[in-house]
Amino acid sequence: MLLVLEDEHKKHLSFLPSVDIAVVKEFCRISMEFIRKGTNPKVYTSAAQKLGVEANSVQNGVEGLMYLLTEASKLLLSEIDYQDSIMVLGFSEELRSMLLELYIEHSGEIRTILSELSMDLPHYHNLEWRFDVQLASRSLRRQITPQVLFKLHTETYGERKTQVLQTDPVNLVHLTKVLDEALQEMKSPYCRRIVRNIK
């Protein structure tokens, strides 16, 4: 699988061949620091003054590298796929091999950082249910009111929560039908492609 870069990202990375390889190494170091700790606008300004260029160009170059590294790590690109992905950028052999070294060295760490940043949504742990039927009341002697009671146990960051839910059989059948349609939609090629890119 190849990483497809948009024109805007290609434009941001086009700044790199115009500077010395030592400067690109510094950009790579800054990119990794920003991935670990977050961005710092002061660094852009000081780097721009040293290079004699606009701070915006430095920012675009560093953020372009950050995007390249994070997206390649997300997709778990092989070395060959990574090289093929950056070949379209028109970089020199030396620059490509340096970026490949950076990717090989830090892809595991970047994946760990990205997994820590992802949200842990409540997920299913257990479900208890009970079917209740009210056969009569004081005012209505021949009344049948079926209800389904659920006790849903969810887990978030290791903490368990319980929600009690109640519905009638008609709504339960409708809910089951909608969830089944959603599961069938997840099996479509379009959804599988989206899920693969999210991971």
Alpha-carbon distance 97 to 101, whole Å? 6
Residue pLDDT, tens place only, 32-48: 888 887 777 777 777 77
- Tell me which residue of 50, 54, 66 sits closest to 9, measured CA to CA: 66
165-187: buried (b, 16+ CB within 10 Å) or exposed (e) per residue? Answer: eeeeeeeeeeeeeeeeeeeeeee
pLDDT at 164: 94
pLDDT at 119: 66
36-62: buried (b, 16+ CB within 10 Å) or exposed (e) per residue? Answer: eeebeeebbeebbeebeeebebbbbbb
pLDDT at 191: 78
pLDDT at 154: 93
> What distances in angstroms separate CA 10 from CA 46, 51, 65, 70, 79, one per listed residue?
24, 21, 10, 15, 20
pLDDT at 126: 92
Alpha-carbon distance 39 to 137, whole Å? 66
pLDDT at 1: 64
pTM, 2 dp? 0.56
* Domain ranges for the chain: 7-117, 123-198
Q: What does the pLDDT profile of the chain (199 residues) look like in tens digits?
A: 677 777 787 777 777 777 777 777 877 888 888 888 777 777 777 777 777 777 787 788 888 888 888 888 888 888 888 787 777 777 778 888 888 888 888 888 888 887 776 667 788 889 999 988 877 777 777 777 889 999 999 998 788 999 999 999 999 999 999 999 988 888 888 877 777 666 5
Q: Are strands 123-134 and 159-167 parallel, antiparallel or unpaired?
A: unpaired
**Local structure of 111: helix, strand or coil:** helix
